[in-house]
Amino acid sequence: AVSQASIAIRGDQPGPTYDKRIFTQFAEHLGNGIYGGLWVGPKSKIPNTRGFRNDVVAALKELAVPVIRWPGGCFADEYHWREGIGPQAKRPVKINTHWGGVTEPNTVGTHEFMDVTDQIGAVAYVSGNVGAGSPRETAEWLEYMTATEGSLAEERARNGHKAPFKVPYFGIGNELWGCGGTMRAEYAADETRRYATFAKVPRGTPLTKIASGANGADTNWTEVMMRETRRQVNGLSLHYYTVPGGFGTMKSSTDFNEADWAETMSLTLKMEDLLTRHGAIMDRYDPEKKVFLAVDEWGTWYHDDPGTHPGFLRMQNTLRDAVVAGINLNIFAAHADRVKMTAIAQMVNVLQAMIFTDGPRMVRTPTYWVFHMYKPYMDGTVLPISVSSPTYTQGKYAMPSVSASAVRGTDGLVHVGLTNLDPNRPAEVSVSLAGLTTGSVSGQVLTAPTMNALNDFDTPDTVRPVAFTGARMAAGGTMTVTLPAKSVVMLQLR
Ligand code: AHR
Which ligand 1 atom is the nearest neighbour of the CA of 241?
A: 4
Measured between alpha carbons, how far is residue 242 from residues 251, 297, 344 in Å? 11, 11, 11
Rounded to a whole number of angstroms, the distance between the first and last alpha carbons of the chain is: 31
What CATH number belongs to 18-379? 3.20.20.80
Distance from Cα 365 to the centre of ligand 1, integer Å = 20
Which ligand 1 atom is the nearest neighbour of the CA of 174?
A: 8
Nearest protein CA to atom 8 of ligand 1, as residue = 73
Query: Cα–Cα distance between 356 and 55 in angstroms, integer?
Result: 11
Nearest protein CA to atom 7 of ligand 1, as residue = 73
Nearest protein CA to atom 1 of ligand 1, as residue = 345
Distance from Cα 222 to the centre of ligand 1, integer Å = 18
Listed in sequence order, the DSSP H helices in 358-405 are: 366-373
In this prediction, residue 387 carries a pLDDT of 98
Which ligand 1 atom is the nearest neighbour of the CA of 76?
A: 6
In this prediction, residue 439 carries a pLDDT of 85
Query: Cα–Cα distance between 152 and 141 in angstroms, integer?
Result: 9
Active site residue: 104, 137, 143, 175, which one?
175
Can you say whether residue 14 is alpha, beta or left, with left for phi > 0 and alpha for psi between -120 and 50 degrees?
A: beta
Nearest protein CA to atom 5 of ligand 1, as residue = 73
Which ligand 1 atom is the nearest neighbour of the CA of 178?
A: 10
CA 172 distance to own-chain centroid: 18
Nearest protein CA to atom 6 of ligand 1, as residue = 73
- φ/ψ of 85, rounded to 5, equals -125, 170
Measured between alpha carbons, how far is residue 469 from residues 375, 440, 442, 477, 480 in Å? 20, 12, 7, 19, 11
Element counts in the chain: helices (H) and strands (E): 9, 28
β-pairing, 94-96 vs 67-70, is: unpaired
What lines the ligand 1 site, CB under 6 Å? 28, 72-74, 174-175, 297, 345-346, 351
Distance from Cα 297 to the centre of ligand 1, integer Å = 7
Listed in sequence order, the DSSP H helices in 296-418 are: 319-334, 366-373
Contact predicate 236/228, CB 8 Å: no
Distance from Cα 483 to the centre of ligand 1, integer Å = 34
Could you say which DSSP state residue 494 is in? -
**Domain 3-10+383-493 classification at class level:** mainly beta
Residue 265: closest CA among 244, 245, 240, 248: 244
Contact predicate 225/213, CB 8 Å: yes
Query: Cα–Cα distance between 172 and 367 in angstroms, integer?
Result: 29
Could you say which DSSP state residue 318 is in? B
* pLDDT tens by residue, 21-57: 999 999 999 999 999 999 999 999 999 999 999 999 9
Kindly compute the dihedral angle of the four CA atoms of residues 75, 299, 26, 180, in this order, to the nearest 10 degrees.
-30
* pLDDT tens by residue, 143-198: 999 999 999 999 999 999 999 999 999 999 999 999 999 999 999 999 999 999 99
Distance from Cα 322 to the centre of ligand 1, integer Å = 20
107, with CB counted inside 10 A (0-12, 13-18, 19+), is middle
With a CB cutoff of 8 Å and minimum separation 6, the contacts of 449 are none
Q: At what angle do helices 319-334 and 258-285 cross, to 10 degrees?
A: 20
Contact predicate 432/478, CB 8 Å: yes
Listed in sequence order, the DSSP H helices in 36-184 are: 54-62, 110-120, 135-146, 151-158
- For a ligand 1 pocket test, name from 104, 175, 177 the mutation site with the most ligand atoms within 8 angstroms of its C-beta: 175
The number of residues making up the chain comes to 494
The verdict on whether 137 is a catalytic residue reads no
- For a ligand 1 pocket test, name from 99, 104, 297, 313 the mutation site with the most ligand atoms within 8 angstroms of its C-beta: 297
For the question of whether the overall pTM of this predicted structure is more than 0.95, the answer is yes
Contact predicate 340/238, CB 8 Å: no
Which ligand 1 atom is the nearest neighbour of the CA of 180?
A: 8
- For a ligand 1 pocket test, name from 70, 74, 352 the mutation site with the most ligand atoms within 8 angstroms of its C-beta: 74
β-pairing, 24-26 vs 339-344, is: parallel
The verdict on whether 175 is a catalytic residue reads yes
In this prediction, residue 359 carries a pLDDT of 97
* 241 beta partners: 299
288, with CB counted inside 10 A (0-12, 13-18, 19+), is exposed
Which ligand 1 atom is the nearest neighbour of the CA of 98?
A: 6
CA atoms lying within 13 Å on the CB side of residue 312: 20
Distance from Cα 270 to the centre of ligand 1, integer Å = 19
Query: Cα–Cα distance between 185 and 192 in angstroms, integer?
Result: 10
Measure the CA angle with vertex 463, ends 472 and 426; round to 5°.
Answer: 40
**C-alpha torsion sign, points 155, 160, 166, 172:** negative
With a CB cutoff of 8 Å and minimum separation 6, the contacts of 232 are 192, 193, 196, 197, 209, 211
- Domain boundaries, given as residue ranges, for the chain: 3-10+383-493, 18-379
In this prediction, residue 29 carries a pLDDT of 98
Nearest protein CA to atom 9 of ligand 1, as residue = 73
Same fold, 3-10+383-493 and 18-379: no
Q: What is the mean pLDDT of each run of 10 residues along the chain (494 residues)?
A: 95 96 98 98 98 98 98 98 98 97 98 98 98 98 98 98 98 98 98 98 96 98 98 98 97 98 98 98 98 98 96 98 99 98 98 98 98 98 98 98 98 97 98 90 98 98 98 91 98 96
Query: Cα–Cα distance between 400 and 468 in angstroms, integer?
Result: 23
Distance from Cα 74 to the centre of ligand 1, integer Å = 6
Distance from Cα 186 to the centre of ligand 1, integer Å = 22
Query: Cα–Cα distance between 226 and 235 in angstroms, integer?
Result: 10
Helix, strand, or coil here: 62? helix
